[in-house]
Structure 1
Amino acid sequence: MNYAQLLFPDFSLILCGYLICRYTALNRSVWQPVESLVYYLLFPVLLFQSIVKSPIDLGMASGLMVAGLASGVCGIALAYALPHLPWLGRHIDARDHAASAQVAFRFNSFIGLALAERLAGSQGLLLIAVLIGVCVPLFNVAAVWPMARQGQHSFARELLRNPLILATATGLVANLLGFRIPAWAEPTIGRISAASLALGLMAAGAGMQFGLLTRSKLLSASVLGIRHLLQPLVAWAMARLLGLEAVQTTVLLAFSALPTASSCYVLAARMGYNGPYVAGLVTLSTLLGMASLTLALGVLR
C-alpha cells in the first residue's frame, strides 16, 4: 500500500489551510474563531459519536489501551528527562523546555481521526477514539505540569474545562451504559462530525508558523525525535509484547506517529511562555508527520 498516497488527502487539506491563511483575505482573524468552533463544539461531537456508535469490548480493547498508555508514559518520561541528560541539559533553557516538552508526546487528534477512518473505517474510528479517551487526560496533565511548576500556575481548572476530556469521558460512560444516538439525530451529528475533520485539518494548516525554528536547536531536535522516531518504535514494541491483533496494531502505530497537537502553541502562549517557538515546533512536526506515519505504517507494521 502507498502510505504517502493514503496520507495525501489529509495533508493536502493542511496545505490548503496554510495557503488560504497566508495568501488570501481569510487570514488568522478568520481562522482563530474556526479553531474555537472545532475545538469546543465540532470535534467533541465527533469524539462522542465515534465512541457511542459501537459497543466497546473492554476485554478486547484493554490491550490497546495499555499499549497506548505505556507508549505515552515512555514519551512523557523521555521528554521530562531531557534537562537531566549531562550532555544535553546544560544547553537547554528551562522555560523553553517547559513549553516544548508537550510536543514530544501530544498528538493531533484531527489527523488521527481522519487517518483512522481511512485505514480501518468505523472500527478504526472507535479504536482511536478509545485511545484518545484514555490518553488525553494523562497527556494534558503532563503538558501543563512543567509549565505550571515553572510559572506557578494551577492546572486543575484547565483540565476540568477541557472539551476533549469532557467529550471522551461522557462518551465512554454513555457507551458502557448502553446509550445510542437516536436515528433521527444521526444525520445531523454525522454532518457535524464530517465538518470537524475537514475544518480541523485546514485550521491546523492555518496555524502553522515557520518563525523561530532555529531557536534551541538541540531541544527542538530532541522533542521532535521523541515524537517522530522513538514513539513509533516504542508502540511497535508494545504491540509485539501484548500480542495486539492487526487492526489494533495499525491504529496504535498510526496513533504513535501522529504530528503533535496544533493546540500546543495555544497552551504555551496562554500560560505565558514562548508561543511562537512552540508554533514553529508544531509546524515542523506537522511536516515530519508524513515521514513518521510512513515509517510506522509502511515499515514497522
Structure 2
Amino acid sequence: MNYAQLLFPDFFLIACGYLLCRHTALNRNIWEPVESLVYYVLFPVLLFQSIVKSPLDLGATSSLISAGLLMGLGGIAMAYSLPYIPWLGRHIDRREHAASAQVAFRFNSFMALALADRLAGSEGLQLIAVLIGVCVPLFNVAAVWPMARHAGRGFLRELVRNPLIIATVAGLIANLLGFSMPTWLEPAVTRIGAASLALGLMAAGAGMQFGHLSQAKTLAAAVLSIRHLFIPLLAFGLAKAFGLSYTQSTILLAFSAVPTASSAYVLATRMGYNGGYVAGLVTLSTVLGVVSLPFALGVLR
C-alpha cells in the first residue's frame, strides 16, 4: 500500500489551513470561530452518527475495545509518570506538564476517521468509532483532571461541558437502545460530518505554531516520543496479545499513530494554561504523523 498517497489528503488539508492562515486575509481571527464551530457542533454530530450508524457487536469487538482501553491507559500512565522519573523529572515544570501531558495520549479524531474510511471502508469507520467512543471519555478525564487540579477549577463541571463526551455518551446509549438515524435526516448529517473532517483538518493547520517549541524541550521530546513511538509499539504488542484480526489490528495501529488532538491547545488555553506551547506540541505532532503512521501501518503491521 502506498502510505504517502493514503496520507496525502489529510496532510494537504492541514497544509492548506496553515498557508491560508499565514499568507492570506483568512487569519487567526477567521479560524478561531471555525475551530469553535467544529469542536462544539460539527464534530459531535459526526461522532454521534458514526457510533449509531451500525449496531455495535460488543462480542465481536470486545478484544479491540480491551486492547484500545489498555493502550490508552498505558499512554496515560507513561505521560503522567514523566515528572517522577529521577533523571527526567528535575527538568520538567509541573504546571507545564499538567497542560502538555494530554498531547502524549490524545488523538486527532478527524484524521483517525478519515484514515479508517480509506483503510477499511464502512467496517473501518465502525471500528474506529467504537475506539473513539470508549477512549474519548477516558482521555478527556485524564486530560482535564490535572489541569483542573492545578488551576483550582471544577473537574466535573469541565467534563459535563465537553461536547465530545456528550456526543460519545449519547451515541453509545442511542446505539444500545436500537436508535437509527431517520432516512430523511441521514444525507444532511452525512454532509455535516464531511464538513467537520475537512474544516477540522484545515483548522488544525491554521493553528500550527512553531515559535513556542524552544520552551521546555525535554518535556516536548518526552511526550512526543510517547505519542509517536511508544504507544504504537504498545498497540502492536496488544494486537498480538489479543489475537486481533487483520482489519482490527490495522485500525488499532492507525489509531495509535495519528497525531495528537488539535483541540488540546484549545483546552489548555480555555483552562488558563500556556496554549502557545501546547499548540507548538500539536504542530510538531502533526508533522511527526508523517513518520509514525507509515511506521505503524507499514513496519509494525
Question: TM-score range with shorter-chain normalisation?
Answer: over 0.9
Residue 218 of structure 1 and its aligned partner are, at CA, apart by: 1.0
Using the alignment, how far apart are the partners of 1:76 and 1:87 within structure 2? 20
2:65 aligned residue: 65
Q: Distance in 2 between matches of 1:197 and 1:262?
A: 12
Q: Output the CA distance in 2 between the equivalents of 1:166 and 1:273.
A: 24
* Alpha-carbon separation, structure 2, partners of 1:31 and 1:131: 29
Distance in 2 of aligned mates of 1:121 and 1:50: 12
Aligned twin of 1:296: 296
CA contact (8 A) 2:149 2:155 kept: no
Structure-2 residue corresponding to 1:116 = 116
Q: Which amino acid aligns with 1:179?
A: F
Q: Among the aligned pairs, what percent are the same residue?
A: 74
1:161-240 mapped onto 2 (5 Å cutoff): 161-240=161-240
Partner Cα separation in structure 2 for residue 193 and residue 266 of structure 1: 21
TM-score w.r.t. the length of structure 2 is 0.98
Q: 2: CA distance between counterparts of 1:77 and 1:102? A: 11
> For each residue in 1:123-146, what CA deviation from the matched residue of structure 2 results, as whole angstroms up to 9, or x when unmatched?
111111111111111111111122
Quote the offset at 1:260 in angstroms: 0.6
Letter in 1 for 2:16: C
- Quick one: which amino acid aligns to residue 251 of structure 1? I
1:82-93 pair list within 5 angstroms = 82-93=82-93
Number of residue pairs aligned between Structure 1 and Structure 2: 301
- 5 Å matches for 1:123-138? 123-138=123-138
Q: In structure 1, how many angstroms separate the alpha carbons of the residues matched to 2:146 and 2:168?
A: 24
Once the 2 structures are TM-superposed, how far is the Cα of residue 193 of structure 1 from its aligned partner?
Answer: 1.1
2:14 counterpart of 1:34: no
RMSD: 0.9
Q: Distance in 1 between matches of 2:86 and 2:194?
A: 48
Secondary structure in 2 matching 1:30: helix
- The residue aligned with 1:76 is 76
Q: Secondary structure at the match of 2:211?
A: coil
Q: C-alpha separation between the residues in 2 aligned to 1:246 and 1:122?
A: 15
Tell me how far 1:151 sits from its aligned partner: 2.1
Match for 1:228: what amino acid?
A: H
Q: CA deviation at 1:203?
A: 0.7
What 5-or-longer segments of structure 1 have no aligned partner?
none
How far off its partner does 1:289 sit? 0.8
Question: Is 2:271 the counterpart of 1:263?
Answer: no
TM-score with structure 1 setting the length: 0.98
Distance in 1 (alpha carbons) for counterparts of 2:273 and 2:188: 39
The Cα of 1:249 is off from its aligned counterpart by: 0.7
For residue 88 of structure 1, give the secondary structure of its aligned residue in structure 2: helix
Instruction: Give unmatched runs, 5+ long, in structure 2.
Output: none
Comparing 116-125 and 10-19, the one that deviates more: 116-125
2:71 maps to 1:53: no
SS in 2 for 1:183: coil
Q: Which amino acid aligns with 1:73?
A: L
